[in-house]
Structure 1
Amino acid sequence: MSGRDVLRGTVRGQGRRVGVAAVLGCVHQLGEAMTPVLIGVVIDQAVAGRDGGRLVLWLVVLAVVYVCLSWSFRLGALAGERSAEEAGHVLRLAVVRRVLDARGGAESDRLSGELANVATEDAKRVGAVTMALMNGIWALAGITVSAVALLLTSVPLGLVVLLGTPVLLWLGHLLSKPLERRSEAEQDQAAGAAGVAADLVAGLRVLRGLGAQGAAVERYRRTSRVSLVATLRAARAESWQSGLVLALTGCFLALIAWVGGRLALDGSLSLGQLVSAVGLALFLVGPLETFAWVNAELAQGRASAARIAKVLGAGPAVAGGEEPVPADARGELRLSGVRLRGLDGVDLRVPAGRLTGIAVSDPALADALLDCLGREADPEAGAVELDGVSLTRVDPAALRAAVLVARHDAALFEGSLAANVVAAGEDPDGAAAGPAMAAADADEVARALPYGAGTDVGEGGRSLSGGQRQRVLLARALHAAPPVLVVHDPTTAVDAATEARIARGLGDFRRGRTTVVVTNSPALLAVTDHVVFLDGGRVGAEGTHEELARTHETYRGTVWA
């Protein structure tokens, strides 16, 4: 996908509104261009001849023209604004849909703030291209009508307009090229700064705990300074482009006025025709300035379209399977010879209906394992199976409804605590989530808040402590009740007593359903039915927590470290 594909699709999608607005705009421009012509006719036929009847008649005609051009402009501008807003909205939905696609890939090498910038600012700029296109059609219609009127008035004046306008447009297009390049650089840097800012805000509590606010501020200051330099370069390019185009436009209009004046002195033009010619020349200022604006908008739109195309055209992180998850899925997971980012030929089986703990000697192994089980990445070698069916054959969206990977650093959303636990469409008071909240000890969090489960937790759950957020996240995962639940370090930010309550609640709540707990916490591993210890990228040991803690020195050193 290219930026041109995005622009073409945007314009085609708004074809009806663009067409309506273009027709109405052309009517408006026709009325604007005819006004100085009619004034010239009034001067020649009514004022010069002192004919009161003709004067009244032509004034009525002028009034009708004014009413038509006024309403056509209003309705055309309304259709144009609607098309721009609708096009931007459609693009925002397309970007968000691609980012949320179960196959992944769009977020690769991009910060969340950068993706937000693409979905907002870039989508808005590309949507504005439809308005720019319509304004360009209006301006072209105005120039065409003016040129025809000038040709009928004076062939030399009409030829000046007809021959000079294409040259002026070509020069404006050339002058917009530097703006397009610098606009793309500006948006890239602005998106980078937004991404850094979003990450810093999300990790503000951690930064304060580490005392690293100064380093974080300095990092953002450097990124912001680079963004500022790019923005100033784009602004300078836009000002130069606009200034030069306006200067060229002024010279062009001066040429028209000079030719018209010479013709009037020669007697080739009457007083009314001279007034019409001068009026048409002054009218041309509007369309020609519009072309300068259109060139700038198109340059920025092309740059933003290229950035959107990179997101929409990003390849998937995993190949899309087509098979549904079996309705009677037992929930048995099996990894055979899996290799991925440190996993070195892992072979393990997670029995259906059991609570299995997985301890790791290296946190990177846990990330790679979670990516495989959640199918955020496919193994470089080997296979992962659910009830004997390879995950690569299953539709990723359906798979994630059956196998829920709940990471400890997942996000909470702005809204009440209950709304962050229950699914959309459920009781907003969260009454149905009571058992899950109790199992995750999140009911204690609700009791500590001023309005209970109805308390707003703020954007990203920032009004909660780290331990409170973890309990709410675990409650959300438990309430979802998937056939297979994979939980990653759900208690790293809670005290020992709370961790023990959560461990018992988790075991009781998920009894009889397949559950995997990826953690090195002794309290959690102690309530599991079976523990697999990954050491050096392979399965180093298996057994109960008590057995491994008693007989395996490396395991003991890992979980009790």
Structure 2
Amino acid sequence: MQIRDLPYEDPGTPDARSGGRYLLWLFRSQLGGQAKALGWGLLQQLGLAGLPVGSGLAVQAVVDGSGGGLALAGGLIALFGIALTIGDTMLHRVSVTNWITAAARLQQSLSRKTTELGSTLSRRVAAGEIVTVSTGDVEKIGWFVEALSRFVAAALAIVLIAVGLLLYVPSLGLLVAVGVPVLALAVLPLLAPATRRADVQREKAGRATELASDTVAGLRVLRGVGGEELFLGRYRKVSQEVRRAAVRSARMWSLISAVQVLLPGLMLIAVVWCGAHLALDGRITPGELVTVYSAVTLLLVPLQRFEEIAIAYSVSRPSATRAARVLSLVRTDVTAGAGGDAAAVTSPAGDLYDPVSGLIAPSGALTAVVCGDPDAAGRLADRLGGHGVGSATDREDRGSDDDLMGGESARRAGGAFRAGASRAGASGADASRAGASRADADAEAVPSVLLGSTALDEVPLDVARTAVLVQDKDPVLLSGTLAELLDVPSSGTVAARRALAAAQCDDVLDALVRTSMAGEGDRDAMRARITERGRSLSGGQRQRLALARSLVADPEVLVLDEPTSAVDSHTEARIADGVRRLRSGRTTVVFTSSPLVLDRADRVVFVHGGKAVAEGGHRALLDEDARYRAVVTRETEAGSAEPGSAAFGTHVADGMGRRHRADVADVHEADVHEMEESA
């Protein structure tokens, strides 16, 4: 496999049972490249080992006054030098190739797993861990895979040199043959504590990074409650723990390096001392002494490979464990993509039914879902999209960071995309420790959501995603032009302009034209550029563009999680009307607690405690269900109007309007402040 041939047509099915097995699988997956590296490594090491022979023959030829012997020694030195040069050059080339191809195989496997799991990946694995695996861990794993063949070549070269010296000068060769294994194995007792200290350092560094990410994500909340100093103190404490752990780890690796220098030095002194006495006694020639001395000196080079492979394994083992943990995750639908041609599977249609909650979304209707717990609403939205996640898993992953931030804003440290819609994922400081128990929690199966009479878990993944699209509450916009943003897989029946109009994006288009096309003659908004993650836009503008993207896709079932939480009341009402008109005849499920959206829904379902406990019209539920009324109105005390009275609906609408406008004003003010800081 060459770099020019990347990416792989099929990266293969990784052995993700453990980190060690995954490293072994990577090694086996590129045996051809490893064999090349071993061959060029042996050529390099043999060229290096041959130089002492030429040097000894040259010294002996000078002592004997033999011109022919000196010419022969010079020719051998030149020959071994050429072999060393070619071997070293090609070994570097092949090693880099092995490194990059191993990293590419891991990245492709991670990409496939991300595509398979969608946004549930960030629920089951901390977002910070996903980023770590896909960036730093990739390089560390690639380093160990490519270093392994160089280590094997160095080990074989050491054995050949020791055997050669034993045959060439038995008296000194015996000393070298006994001393080399001692040198090679001397650091083994130190590797275990060094690895443990390195693991502790990485764990503490990961906690510090996650704490910093959570603090930045919740900075506005901290400023509002005056908690900056509290979290600054926590970060200082954690960073000092990282520093102390790094010093302890560095001390152990320094000790290993010292042993690698000290013991070979002692052996070299012993060889010189013994060789000098043997030469004085006439038992060996000066040329043989020079040969043995040079060989022992050059042995330090391959011996360094032992230290390198030890460090590489120590660094890559936890990285491989994290990668294996991510790659071992599976969807609850074990049959998805496993059999048959996806194109031959008919896209399911009909009512959308979740047997866990009892939620039913009738085909062709706009169904609004009210859920008092935003996290539970997010999980239910994922399940409706065919991404079933066991409740134990959700509780474990989402509870890991409650002690840090205690709010939704603290969990927005990363994102994962699904079928053109995206979601900011949760990150927690204890996610790395919780990962070991996720495999058991993931085994908790949940019943599949039904679309018509078809279980979404029983159809291939791409078919399920074509039928049901989920847009989560925190969508992420990719950089590029507006036309590229809206160029998503779709039915082709909804034009981009219609979707933008339904999502009330007129002011968004004007803002994009002003900011990205200033000074240009062409004022086509579709060619306007969106900055990275849409940072030049407010939260409400980003939310509306993401909604337009979902509307363009025009799936059979569209699930929207709080699609209007960051817009003002007037815009919210127009969006609700636009979505209702554009999605006429299509199934739409909206998770919201906004009375403006609820009042325009064909049907409202109230979910409490994970179960659908009430359904009907918005106004009827306000009168009949006190729990629904408490969630929608956010009332914590008795209002002035009695339920069921003519004034009650007006009281609720007015109260909600005031609260909603205040919330939106806060959001927009925060967005403006963020843009000013970025500028």
| Aligned residue number for residue 442 of structure 1 | 505
Aligned partner of residue 517 in structure 1, secondary structure: strand
Q: Is the 8 A contact 1:403 1:484 kept in 2?
A: yes
User: For structure 2, which runs of at least 5 residues remain unmatched after alignment?
Assistant: 1-16, 391-444, 517-524, 635-679
Residue pairs, 1:190-201, within 5 angstroms: 190-201=205-216
Q: Is the 8 A contact 2:490 2:555 kept in 1?
A: no
User: 2:363 matched to 1:352?
Assistant: yes
Partner SS for 1:327? coil
2:322 aligned residue = 307
CA distance in structure 2 between the partners assigned to 1:196 and 1:177 by the alignment:
29
Deviation at 1:103, TM superposition (A): 7.8
Structure-2 residue corresponding to 1:173: 188
2:54 alignment partner AA: L
- CA–CA distance in 2 between the matches of 1:552 and 1:140? 77
1:367 aligns with one of 356, 378, 386: 378
User: Is 2:27 the counterpart of 1:8?
Assistant: no
Q: Deviations over 1:237-263 (max 9, x none)?
A: 211221123222222222222222221
Q: What TM-score does the superposition give when structure 1 sets the normalisation length?
A: 0.88
**CA deviation after TM superposition for structure 1 residue 79, in Å:** 0.5
Moved more, 399-408 or 104-113: 104-113
- 1:376 partner SS: coil
Q: C-alpha distance in 2, partners of 1:405/1:156?
A: 77
Query: Distance in 2 between the 1:183 and 1:366 partners?
Result: 40
Residue identity matched to 2:511: A
Q: What aligned pairs does 1:48-63 form with structure 2 within 5 A after superposition? A: 48-63=63-78
- Give, in whole Å, the separation in 1 of the partners of 2:288 and 2:160: 16
In the alignment, residue 501 of structure 2 is paired with which amino acid? A
Q: 1:23 to 1:329 in 2, by over 3 A?
A: closer
Deviations 1:319-352 (A, max 9, x none): 424486963533411234x2xxxxxxx4342211
Q: Does residue 429 of structure 2 align to residue 413 of structure 1?
A: no
1:122-159 alpha-carbon deviations (Å, 9 max, x no partner)? 22222111332233223223323432332233102111
Deviations 1:378-412 (A, max 9, x none): 57776632102233433444323311121112333
Residue 278 to residue 347, structure 1, CA distance change in 2 (3 Å): closer
1:530 corresponding residue in structure 2: 603
The corresponding residue for 2:148 is 133
3-state DSSP class of the match of 2:117?
coil
Task: Please report how far the alpha carbon of residue 75 of structure 1 lies from its aligned counterpart in structure 2 after TM superposition.
Answer: 0.7
Out of 219, 230, 233, the residue aligned to residue 245 of structure 2 is 230
Per the TM alignment, residue 442 of structure 1 is displaced from its structure 2 partner at its CA by 2.7
CA–CA distance in structure 1, aligned partners of residues 631 and 303 of structure 2: 73
CA deviation after TM superposition for structure 1 residue 519, in Å: 0.8
> Which residue is 2:179 aligned to?
164
Alignment check: 8 A CA contact 1:355 1:514 kept: yes
- Which residue is equivalent to 1:318? 332
- The alignment yields a C-alpha RMSD, in angstroms, of 3.1
Contact conserved, 2:125 with 2:326, CA < 8 A, in 1?
no
Q: Taking structure 1 as reference, are residues 311 and 158 closer, same or farther at Cα in structure 2, changes over 3 Å only? A: same
Structure 1 pair 188/421, CA: closer, same or farther in 2 (3 Å)? farther
Q: For 1:357, what is the secondary structure of its paired residue?
A: strand
State whether residues 345 and 463 of structure 2, in contact with CA within 8 Å, keep that contact through their aligned partners in structure 1: no
Deviation at 1:513, TM superposition (A): 0.4
Using the aligned pairs only, state the percent identity: 36
The amino acid of 1:357's aligned partner reads: A
Give structure 1 stretches of 5+ with no counterpart: 339-345
Which residue, 584, 594, 603 being the options, matches 1:511?
A: 584
Partner of 2:404: none
Give the superposition deviation at 1:355: 1.0
Instruction: Determine whether 1:38 maps to 2:51.
Output: no
Q: Which amino acid aligns with 1:36?
A: P
Counterpart residue type for residue 320 of structure 1: V
Aligned to 2:434: none
Against the structure 1 CA distance between its residues 425 and 521, is the aligned structure 2 distance closer, same or farther, given a 3 Å change threshold? closer
CA distance in 2: counterparts of 1:220 and 1:413, whole angstroms? 31
Number of the residue aligned with 1:341 = none
2:180 is aligned with what amino acid? Answer: T
For 1:116, which of 103, 112, 131 is the aligned residue?
131
Task: Specify the alignment match of 2:541 in structure 1.
Answer: 468
Q: Report which stretch shifted further, 284-293 or 74-83.
A: 284-293
Pair 1:386 & 2:397 matched: no
- The answer to whether the 8 Å contact 1:249/1:289 transfers is no
Query: Does structure 1 retain, via aligned residues, the 8 Å contact 2:482–2:530?
Result: yes
Post-superposition CA distance 1:216-270 (Å, at most 9, x none): 5455444444444433332222112211232222222222222222211221111
Q: Aligned pair in 2 of structure 1 residues 96, 106: CA closer, same or farther (>3 Å)?
A: same
* Worse-superposed segment, 35-44 or 397-406: 397-406
Give the one of 18, 27, 31 matched to 2:34.
18
CA distance in 2, matches of 1:426, 1:156: 83
Distance 2:82 2:623 in 1: 93
Query: 1-side partners of 2:333 and 2:220: how far apart?
Result: 37
**Larger CA deviation: 485-494 vs 273-282:** 273-282
Q: Find the residue that maps to 1:349 and give its secondary structure.
A: strand
CA contact (8 A) 1:32 1:69 kept: yes
CA distance in 1, matches of 2:180, 2:58: 29
Closer/same/farther in 2, CA of residues 425 and 347 from structure 1, 3 Å limit: closer
Q: 1:332 aligns with which of 315, 327, 351?
A: 351
Inter-CA distance 192–461: structure 2 relative to 1 (3 Å threshold): farther
**Equivalent-residue separation in structure 2 for 1:297 and 1:199 (angstroms):** 31
Distance 1:209 1:159 in 2: 75
Q: Secondary structure at the match of 1:48?
A: helix
Q: Which residue of 2 aligns with 1:268?
A: 283
> What is the identity, as a one-letter code, of the residue corresponding to 2:374?
P
Matches of 2:311 and 2:80, distance apart in 1: 31
1:389-438 CA distances to partner (integer Å, 9 max, x unpaired)? 233433444323311121112333344444333328999xxx95222122
Checking the alignment, whether the CA contact within 8 Å between 1:334 and 1:349 is kept in structure 2 is: yes
Q: How many residues align?
A: 548
Shift of the alpha carbon at 1:453? 5.0
Residue in 2 that maps onto 1:342: none
Q: Does 2:88 correspond to 1:73?
A: yes
* 2: CA distance, partners of 1:288 / 1:383: 57
**What is the TM-score with the length of structure 2 in the denominator?**
0.74
Larger deviation: 526-535 or 79-88? 526-535
CA separation of 1:48 and 1:131: change in aligned 2, threshold 3 A:
same
Q: How does 1:390-405 map to 2 (within 5 A)?
A: 390-405=455-470
Query: Partners in 2 of 1:304 and 1:372 — Cα distance?
Result: 30
For 2:545, the aligned partner's letter is V
* Cα distance change on mapping 1:438 and 1:85 into 2, 3 Å: same
Q: Which moved more, 1:455-464 or 1:477-486?
A: 455-464
User: Is this contact kept in 2: 1:184–1:304, CA < 8 A?
Assistant: no
- Higher mean Cα deviation, 538-547 or 251-260? 538-547
Instruction: Tell me how far 1:205 sits from its aligned partner.
Output: 5.9
Q: Distance in 1 between matches of 2:347 and 2:296?
A: 78
Q: Does the residue aligned with 1:485 lie in a helix, a strand or coil? A: strand
Change (3 A) 1:434 1:206: farther
Residues 425 and 270 of structure 1, relative CA distance in 2, 3 Å threshold: farther
* Structure 2 counterpart of 1:433: 496
Tell me the distance in 2 between the aligned counterparts of 1:104 and 1:488: 13
After superposition, the C-alpha distances for 1:182-240 in whole angstroms (9 at most, x for unaligned) are 23333333334444444455555666666655555455444444444433332222112
Matched to 1:173, the amino acid is L
The answer as to whether partners of 1:321 and 1:396 remain within 8 angstroms in 2 is no
The one-letter amino acid of 2:51's match is T
